[in-house]
Structure 1
Amino acid sequence: MPTVELRFSAQPEHVRTARLVAAAVARRAGVDEAVLDEVRLAVGEACSRAVGLHRNHHITTPVTVILTEEEKAFSIEVGDGLTASGREASAQGTLGGGPDDPETDADGEDEMGLAVISGLVDDVEVRTGADGGVIRMTWPTAPVVVLP
């Protein structure tokens, strides 16, 4: 049940690295080869979303990506660091001004990103806690055959 954890500063150029690592670990975990493109796209979308939230809300903590190989599943959690109180303030408009405000546009992109992820991954969980938001995506794995 190995776990790989990535932490990176909220820079768009780091998203590519996260996608490459996720695809490599997913392949090693036994995720079907035909699904690897979906893994790459979903992780890229989740990481881009997290980077955008960090930048828009001036969050200095790193974006986290945790890749976990379980017995019959492979999961990826992308953490964004925007706490529940920060999300509530943003939703109430205290961080954004109006329809022309970049903060409001970012919230629309956030929702679009979640819609794309939901379209790519059958098993998605989005949660928010005291230490930030997390998108957890899970794919089934094939049993690894060990030859003698």
Structure 2
Amino acid sequence: MATVELHFSALPEHVRTARLVAAAVARRAGVDEAVLDEVRLAVGEACTRAVGLHQSNGVDAPVRVALIEDEKMFSIEVGDEAPRSAPGDRVPGARDELEAEGEDEMGLAVISGLVDDVEVTAGESGGLIRMRWPTTPAPLVP
């Protein structure tokens, strides 16, 4: 199992680099060529979401991306360190928080539309989006 890890400052300009690296590693791992655009878009959406969460919560820690090549699966994990509060903790009328939550839900909907196997977890110490794609083994060369 091979893993490539990226850590980048929560700045929008770094999202493009994460997308390009993810597509290159996915190609090398054996993800079907027809799916690479979906990989790029999903990683871009997940990283943009993490950057936005870091910026809106004043988190200085880097966004984490792990690209994991397994025997039959390729996984990408995008992690953030933005704390999530319970729904009952909202201040009534806090429009900024509600708008950010709406954008967050839209990003997750886009990711779910692009990736069949996606898992989202979040808690007080941050969140993680795990996405998986099947791989095709490389042909054996005699």
TM score, norm. by length of structure 2: 0.93
Give yes or no for contact 1:56–1:103 (8 Å, CA) kept in 2: no
- Matching residue of 1:119: 113
Q: Secondary structure at the match of 1:87?
A: coil
- Give, in angstroms, the shift of residue 29 of structure 1: 0.1
- Percent identity over the alignment is 70
Q: Secondary structure at the match of 2:55?
A: helix
- Matching residue of 1:109: 103
Is 2:68 aligned against 1:71?
A: no
Amino acid at match of 1:141: T
- Matching residue of 2:85: 88
Q: Which runs of 4+ in 1 moved over 6 A?
A: none
Count of matched residue positions in the alignment of Structure 1 and Structure 2:
142
Structure 2, unaligned stretches of length 5 or more? none
Q: Which whole-Å CA distance do the structure 1 matches of 2:88 and 2:37 have between them?
A: 33
Structure 1, unaligned stretches of length 5 or more? none
TM score, norm. by length of structure 1: 0.90
- Matching residue of 1:98: 93
- Give, in angstroms, the shift of residue 91 of structure 1: 6.1
- Matching residue of 1:48: 48
Amino acid at match of 1:50: A
Q: Which whole-Å CA distance do the structure 1 matches of 2:38 and 2:19 have between them?
A: 10
- Give, in angstroms, the shift of residue 102 of structure 1: 2.5
Q: Secondary structure at the match of 2:84?
A: helix
Amino acid at match of 1:88: S
Q: Which whole-Å CA distance do the structure 2 matches of 1:24 and 1:62 have between them?
A: 22
Give yes or no for contact 2:84–2:126 (8 Å, CA) kept in 1: no
